[in-house]
Structure 1
């Protein structure tokens, strides 16, 4: 699952985990490192490819559904290994309201961070949308969003070796 700050990735992953699914929120737990941009002009948070590769390899052996959430520059490198690329989306006003009031993540509280969310939404979200196989509007009730994701995993249950609702 991927999407901009404030769409509800962490909340959705927590609910999926409560339902017994294996989930990984790559925003926490050392899944991301600052790495050089491909053009060498600077650094950008990116998935630690060794850890993500090991996670996916472990999943491929188990065949159990795996939901990976996050949004980083190099996530597309792993898209061929995912059954679905799910974009969680919401209007910018909803995202900004959520980041201002959430208690689990301080990102988005400063004016500078909110400006970055606005700019990233304009620049990055269209790229995420163009590679998504499914888009879910997170203004829907959380249980409906989670039910939709769970249905994707159930439809593909027999496809062992492929993360079911993956990506970033």
Structure 2
């Protein structure tokens, strides 16, 4: 069964897609949840940021399973784990769509303040191109329904 990373900026729909995949019987992990990340600095980097806790992530990705695993997240050290994923999927959306989603969401308070929105916009300009370069699939979540996105992700299972 494939391991699939769903990455992208805040407000692109990662959590929503993961919830739908879980409801369809897939194993899902939202790494924004407690226990998967820690605040730290990559070797040779000056800026701190969220990093996956490496031992739990390695264990998760190595575990045998009978259903596909979809991992959602966007952290500074995720590239280290790309070889353990069968697919890297970038969820993207125009800034205006992301901003409106951030304003309306209720399950996560991040992205509502002006400072957080400025940070996300900076990441959209600086980080998203790096994510795009590492992805083998990009899905624009503003152009597809959640069901269409889930269908495209489940279709990766047949390729992986």
CA shift, 1:57, in A, is 1.3
User: Which structure 1 residue ranges, 5 or more long, are not aligned?
Assistant: 157-168
Selected match of 2:17 from 12, 21, 41: 12
When the two structures are aligned, how many residues end up with a matched partner? 154
Whether the 8 Å contact between 2:91 and 2:138 is mirrored in structure 1 is yes
Selected match of 1:146 from 127, 134, 150: 150
1:44 aligns with 2:49: yes
SS of the equivalent of 1:27 reads coil
User: Which structure 2 residue ranges, 5 or more long, are not aligned?
Assistant: 1-5
SS of the equivalent of 1:62 reads coil
Selected match of 1:112 from 97, 115, 121: 115
Following superposition of structure 1 onto structure 2, how do residues 22-101 of structure 1 map, counting pairs within 5 Å? 22-39=27-44, 41-58=46-63, 61-101=64-104
SS of the equivalent of 1:45 reads strand
Q: Which residue of 2 aligns with 1:163?
A: none
Instruction: Give distance in 2, aligned partners of 1:128 and 1:145.
Output: 18
Give the TM-score of the pair, scaled to structure 1: 0.88
Q: Which residue of 1 aligns with 2:3?
A: none
Instruction: Give distance in 2, aligned partners of 1:111 and 1:37.
Output: 27
Instruction: Give distance in 2, aligned partners of 1:51 and 1:21.
Output: 19
Instruction: Give distance in 2, aligned partners of 1:43 and 1:117.
Output: 16
CA shift, 1:11, in A, is 0.3
Cα distance, 1:63–1:80 mapped onto 2, change above 3 Å = farther
Larger mean CA deviation between 42-51 and 5-14 belongs to: 42-51
Give the TM-score of the pair, scaled to structure 2: 0.93
